[in-house]
Every structure is written in C-alpha cells, then in structure tokens.
C-alpha cells in the first residue's frame, strides 16, 4: 500500500481585497516554514503558516494506515481534536488513511500537525483545483466503448501528487439537453465512467497523475451535455462541457432463415456507410443455440460488403447473437462498438401434407341432395345403396348412446351392490358362528351340571333302598319307614 503522506487542500472563500499584496509570493495564504515552493511544500517538523486573509481553510492530512486522527496545534498553543467537530466552525472527516478538516476563520500564524506523519509528507497550496480531459470526438455512437484520460491541475499547473487519488473521486456524467426531437428527452443523468490512477483497466500506469476512465455509452441516442464531477468528502465540483450528439449504433444485424434445404441460417451484419468505413469492419461474437450451447465466431474478412456468417440449423427455437464490432469511422477514428443482442426464432416446418397443398382458386359450393350424393358414391364403389329404413337419424343415435350409458351405469351399480352384500353376509355368518360357539359352551356346562345332580340323587335313592331291604330281613320295622 502507498506510504501515507500529508496533504492540505486550501480554499479561500473570502479574502479582504484592501489588504491584498500583488507582490506577495505565489504561496498565497499558506506558507511552509523553512522551505521553497515546488508546487508542493515539504513540511518542516509538520509546521505550516496560515495567512491572516484566510476566512476558511480545508486541509487533508495523510497518516499511517489505521493510526489515530491527527491533532492540530494553534499558534497560541491550544489544540484541536477530532472530537471537537461541531459542523459549524469545525468540520472533520477521518478515515483509515487520512483526515479532512475544514476550519472557518482560522487563527493566523504558524500551525503544527501532530500525528503519525512521515518525514516525506508535504503540504500543497490548492487555489484552483480543476480536472482537464481530452476533447470528446465529434462523432460518437450509442454503445461505443471509449478510453478517456484526464489530469488534475492546481492554478494551471499539473498535480503529480499520487496520494491525492485517495481523496478525490472523479467521474463523467451525461446530462440530457431535453430536446423533444431526440430519444433521450427527459432522460435521467447517466454516469458513464469513473476515473482511476491505479494501473488497472484502461489506465496505462499507476500513480502517474493521469486518471483514465472507460466510457460505456449504452444509453439512448440524442443530445447530451458531458459533465466532469470532482468530489471529496466535503465538497463537489462540476465542469460542464459543450453539448455533444450521440448517434444511434451504426451496426445492424439481420438473418435469412433456413428454407429447409440449405441446413443453415445466414447471419448478415452491416454498417451505416455514412459513418462506418466498411473495409475496416471486424466482428467478434458468440451464438447461443436454443439448447443452450455457445459458439464463438469472428469475421476478419476485409470487404466493402456486409459480413456474412452461416449458423447450423440443427435445433428449433430461439437463437441469440451478441457481437462486438471493431473498425474505423469515415474520418479515420478507431471505434469499439458493443452491439445490442439480436435474437430470432427458428420454427419447426409444417407437415409435408399441408405444405404440398396447391394454392388454387376456391371451388364454388354446389347444393346437392344427400340421397343423390350417397347413391352416386355407392354406385361408384359397386355397393348397394342405403335404404331409408337403414338411415339413422340424429335423435335415434342420441337415444342409443344414452341407453348404452344407462345400461352400463345400472350394470356397474348392480355389481357394486352385489360385492358389498356378499361382504356383509360373510361378516354376519362369522358373527353367527361365533355366537353358536359361545352358546354350545354354555350348554355343555349346563348338561354336566344336571348330570352331576342326577348322579347325586340316584346315589341317595340307592342308599334308601338298601336300608329298607336290611330292615325287612331282620324283622324290625323302622318307625320312620312305617310312618311313611
């Protein structure tokens, strides 16, 4: 990462004209103590002097990455801290690498900055900060990609101070002129480029003081006002240029679809010869087939005619073509054009039986009796003519259809009823058998009980009979038996 440095951007809002000294050094209201002016001032022990004419000053201090904000010491020894910012007399913006401070009515005299400031740090006197860019071409197109470079100046002198890029943001905007005759009428402002000095993208060399941007003119054609915007955390400046005309993209794409014999679609790429030198046109693009396959292609043939490319017709559906065109305008300027995506639909051909029907004049309709027509057809086919009794009226056919459906409904309902009934019978029989089994078990128990009673009763009777027989044999009558 770039070594942090210290930078002071100073803007005099109001200066007492009566006290102006025309013989004063070019240093203006800010003087570095003990040094000479070299478009930037090397700090002597981080000290600098503010002139008494200054009513407002904006300073930017670069410091070590992640270090604490700097502390400013006034000429009387009092200190200014970042926490004292009130956004009325003191404005303070701090980041990881720098502090931007704006003070109203600063105390004249020698000041000092205290912080992690390197010995190579410098103070710059900025009296008129401007962004200078290359003039835009007279003929530019919608969809064109342009390289655009610009540099910053201070009082007309270029600024080579690399740390400035961390503070200043540069971009290009196009503002619509709201001409009702053009397509960009009432269009919103369009940011078409941001400028960098980091050696990336189209920037050739990092930290050389040249800011480079890539224009992306994918906006509506029409009249626009180019505007350079210079922004810092505390102020923004705009520089408006002369209106320019953005012409429609001069490259057109068309296609001749496969007729069913060649097996190819013919892609046609042409340019508006009022603007484009067709002999210099080069095409680079890609084709997306309906099944998602991607095919890259290029056309480098030098000719004044439209460029052609054959696309294999092996799939039905939507084909999408995206191309970038390289070439020269009629006045010799090189261009790069991003052409809008082109698509077409390849439809499946109709069946041959339909396509081969000759396109003849319609035959007038002739009224003919149905019986006569049927009789003639039957005669030509050697089939016996159909009698009136054999003809079936539309009402009879409807009745027959309804009867068949009703019959099927009845048969189906009957089958369902029978199946349901059989299941109920099976359930009932199983229940009855279960009940019979239960009853038979109770009956067996009752039979055994009564049989046992009968045996007991018989045993008692046998005992009585035996006792009666014994008494008869002994000639002694039992009184109880006699009474009985």
Tell whether 376 is covered by a domain. Answer: no
Interval 346-389: pLDDT, tens: 988 766 554 555 555 554 545 455 455 445 554 444 545 555 54
Domain range for residue 69? 17-123
* 327 and 218 belong to one structural domain: no
Same-domain pairing of 134 and 105: no
CATH of the domain at 148: 2.60.40.10
Q: Is residue 385 part of a domain?
A: no
Terminal Cα-to-Cα distance of the chain (whole angstroms): 144
Alpha helices in 76-182 (DSSP H): none
CA angle (313, 317, 318) in 5-degree steps: 100
Mean pLDDT of the chain: 75
Long-range pairs for 239-246: beta carbons < 8 A, 24 or more residues apart: 239/130, 239/131, 240/175, 241/136, 243/177, 244/136, 244/138, 244/140, 245/140, 246/140, 246/141, 246/142, 246/174, 246/184, 246/217, 246/219, 246/220, 246/221, 246/222
Which residues face 271 on adjacent strands?
A: 251
- What's residue 299's pLDDT? 96
Place of tokens 């042409």: 270
pLDDT of residue 425: 59
Q: Is 246 exposed, middle or buried (0-12, 13-18, 19+ CB in 10 A)?
A: buried
Residue with the larger pLDDT of the pair 278 and 442: 278
Band (196; pLDDT cuts 50, 70, 90) = confident
Lookup: tokens for 114: 């205290």
Which of 123, 139, 167 marks a domain boundary? Answer: 123
Domain count, the chain: 3
Given a contact cutoff of 8 angstroms between Cβ atoms, the answer to whether 323 and 242 are in contact is no
For 34-66, letters b (16+ CB in 10 Å) and e give ebeeeebbebeebebebbebbeebbbbbbbeee
Please report whether residue 105 resides in a domain: yes
Q: Does residue 112 share a domain with residue 75?
A: yes
The 10 Å Cβ neighbour count of residue 250 is 24
Which distant-in-sequence residues (6+ apart) come within 8 Å of 82 by Cβ? Answer: 69, 92, 94, 99
Residues 146, 225, single domain; the answer is yes
Q: Residue 143 above 90 pLDDT?
A: yes
- Domain C-terminal end among 206, 226, 247: 247
Inter-residue contact 131 to 230 (CB < 8 Å): yes
Q: 106: Cβ–Cβ under 8 A, 6 or more apart, which residues?
A: 50, 54, 56, 57
**Radius of gyration, alpha carbons of the chain:** 55
Higher-pLDDT residue of 322 and 373 is 322
Q: Evaluate whether 95 touches 116 at the Cβ level (below 8 Å).
A: no
Q: Same domain, yes or no, for 235 and 263? A: no
Tokens representing 469 are 């027989």
Q: 253 lies in a domain?
A: no
Determine the average pLDDT of the residues in 133-160.
84
Same domain for 269 and 184? Answer: no
In a domain, 70, yes or no: yes
pLDDT in tens, 152-191: 876 677 777 667 667 778 888 999 999 999 999 999 999 9
**DSSP readout, 259-310?**
-SSS-EEEEEEEE-TTTEEEEEEEEEEEEE-TTS-EEEEEE----SSPEEEE
Q: Are 232 and 168 in contact (CB under 8 A)?
A: yes
CATH number at residue 117: 2.60.40
Top mean-pLDDT range of 106-115, 391-400, 462-471, 475-484: 106-115
Residue finishing a domain among 189, 222, 247: 247
- Does residue 372 fall inside a structural domain? no
Please give the average per-residue pLDDT across 394-399, as a whole number.
78
Same domain, yes or no: 65 and 93:
yes
């Amino acid at each position: 990462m770039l070594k942090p440095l210290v930078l002071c951007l100073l803007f005099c809002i109001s200066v007492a004209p009566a006290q102006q000294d025309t013989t004063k050094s070019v240093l203006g209201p800010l003087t570095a103590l003990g040094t000479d002016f070299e478009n930037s001032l090397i700090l002597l022990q981080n000290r600098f002097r503010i002139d008494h004419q200054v009513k407002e000053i904006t300073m930017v201090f670069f410091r070590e990455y992640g270090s604490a904000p700097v502390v400013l010491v006034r000429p009387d020894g009092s200190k200014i801290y970042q926490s004292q910012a009130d956004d009325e007399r003191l404005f303070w913006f701090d980041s990881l690498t720098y502090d931007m401070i704006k003070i109203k009515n600063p105390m004249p005299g020698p000041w000092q900055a205290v912080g992690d400031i390197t010995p190579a740090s410098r103070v710059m006197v900025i009296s008129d900060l401007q962004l200078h860019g290359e003039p835009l071409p007279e003929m530019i197109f919608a969809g064109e990609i342009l390289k655009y470079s610009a540099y910053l100046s201070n009082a007309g002198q270029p600024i080579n101070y690399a740390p400035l890029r961390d503070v200043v943001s540069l971009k290009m905007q196009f503002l619509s002129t709201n001409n009702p005759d053009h397509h960009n009428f009432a269009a919103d402002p369009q940011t078409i480029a941001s400028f960098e000095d980091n050696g990336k993208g189209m920037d050739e060399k990092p930290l050389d003081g040249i800011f480079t941007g890539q224009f992306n003119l994918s906006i509506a054609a029409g009249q626009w006002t180019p505007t350079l915007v210079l922004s810092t955390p505390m102020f923004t400046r705009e520089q408006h240029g002369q209106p320019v005309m953005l012409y429609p993209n001069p490259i057109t794409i068309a296609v001749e679809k496969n007729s069913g014999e060649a097996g190819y679609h013919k892609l046609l790429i042409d340019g508006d010869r009022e603007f484009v030198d067709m002999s210099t046109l080069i095409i680079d693009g890609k084709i997306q087939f309906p099944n998602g396959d991607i095919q890259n292609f290029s056309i480098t043939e030098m000719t004044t005619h439209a460029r052609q490319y054959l696309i294999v017709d092996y799939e039905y559906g939507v084909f999408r073509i995206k191309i970038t065109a390289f070439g020269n305008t009629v006045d010799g300027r090189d261009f790069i054009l991003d052409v809008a995506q082109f698509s077409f639909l390849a439809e499946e051909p109709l069946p041959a039986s339909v396509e081969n029907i000759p396109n003849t004049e319609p035959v007038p309709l002739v009224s003919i009796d149905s019986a006569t027509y049927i009789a003639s057809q039957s005669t030509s086919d050697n089939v016996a003519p159909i009698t009136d009794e054999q003809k079936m009226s539309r009402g009879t056919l409807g009745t027959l259809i309804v009867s068949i459906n009703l019959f099927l409904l009845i048969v189906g309902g009957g089958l369902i009823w029978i199946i349901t009934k059989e299941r109920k019978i099976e359930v009932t029989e199983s229940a009855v058998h279960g009940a019979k089994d239960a009853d038979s078990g109770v009956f067996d128990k009752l039979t055994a009980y009564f049989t046992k009673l009968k045996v007991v009763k018989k045993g008692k009777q046998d005992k009585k009979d035996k006792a009666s027989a014994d008494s008869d044999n002994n000639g002694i009558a039992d009184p109880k038996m006699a009474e009985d």
